[in-house]
């Protein structure tokens, strides 16, 4: 017998050359958690945790955001809840996907509208430009700036996906990766809750995934009302909002 594909989505080829298209069922890991607008029951083996933009340029004192005068304390708030939740979810059989800005050095796939967000005065700053005390290129693939903060170092089995827009689904392999993981429900965390997290979550809902935001694992450096509006719209229009402590029981 030869396995073709991933353990979560693979075929078996027998010695006689016959192909078995059945996927081996995973033993369900069921939890029920209080959420808004309704209590939800999840099979953690059919979930994936998508952690958005917990990277140095947004969450480290030497990163780009801090270098332009933004208070990054809110962006660091999800670190401790994630340090508790991520190992628990891994142990439950839930894949962990780290979704970060990681742009091409030549920025060839970025239109003016995206570049303008990070360089509104057109001064040659923003994406790809050196920033902060370390002078590393802002949000550039492979740089310290784009790396996940040390406190949340990924495990070898985790999956890293680079993104180039507010939504992690546009121009990336994220949807293919998630479908190959055979997941139907996405747990969301990261920053900013009202920007990249919300954009990716809403696209996920439009693509047919069930979506759940872990509120204590998500934050924004925007004004507080932006975060509250994101929570309202997620629970009202797209899916559910809960807390990681309710999920993991502590």
Tell me the catalytic residues.
Answer: 53, 163, 196
Map 205-238 to HEC letters.
HHCCCEEEEEEEEEECCCCHHHHHHHHHHHHHHH
* 24 DSSP β-pair partners: none
Tell me the Ramachandran region of residue 196: left when phi exceeds 0, alpha when psi lies from -120 to 50, beta otherwise.
alpha
Which has the closest alpha carbon to 226: 196, 250, 202, 194? 194
Give the whole-angstrom CA distance, residue 118 versus residue 121.
Answer: 9
Give the whole-angstrom CA distance, residue 125 versus residue 116.
Answer: 10
Give the whole-angstrom CA distance, residue 178 versus residue 22.
Answer: 19
Beta-sheet strands, E only, within the chain? 2-6, 9-13, 19-20, 30-33, 40-43, 47-52, 96-101, 130-131, 136-137, 159-163, 185-191, 210-219, 240-242
Please check whether residue 235 is in contact with residue 198, taking contact to mean a CB–CB distance below 8 angstroms.
Answer: no
């Amino acid at each position: 017998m030869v396995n073709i594909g991933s353990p979560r989505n693979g075929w078996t080829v027998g010695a006689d050359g016959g192909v078995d298209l059945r996927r081996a069922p995973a033993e369900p890991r069921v939890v029920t958690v209080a959420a808004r607008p309704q209590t939800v029951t999840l099979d953690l083996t059919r979930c994936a945790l998508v952690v958005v933009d917990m990277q140095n340029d947004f969450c480290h004192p030497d990163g780009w955001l801090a270098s332009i005068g933004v208070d990054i304390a809110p962006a660091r708030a999800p670190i401790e809840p994630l340090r508790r939740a991520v190992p628990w979810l891994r142990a439950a059989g839930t894949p962990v996907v780290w979704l970060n800005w990681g742009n091409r050095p030549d920025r060839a796939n970025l239109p003016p509208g995206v570049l303008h967000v990070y360089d509104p005065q057109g001064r040659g700053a923003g994406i790809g430009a050196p920033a902060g005390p370390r002078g590393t290129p802002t949000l550039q693939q492979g740089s310290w700036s784009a790396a996940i903060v040390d406190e949340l170092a990924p495990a070898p089995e985790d999956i890293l996906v680079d993104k180039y827009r507010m939504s992690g689904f546009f121009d990336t392999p994220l949807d293919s990766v998630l479908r190959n993981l055979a997941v139907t429900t996405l747990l969301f965390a990261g920053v900013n809750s009202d920007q990249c997290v919300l954009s990716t979550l809403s696209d996920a809902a439009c693509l047919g995934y069930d979506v759940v935001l872990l509120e204590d694992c998500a934050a924004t450096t925007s004004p507080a009302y932006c975060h509250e509006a994101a929570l309202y719209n997620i629970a009202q229009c797209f899916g559910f909002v809960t807390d990681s402590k309710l999920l993991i029981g502590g």
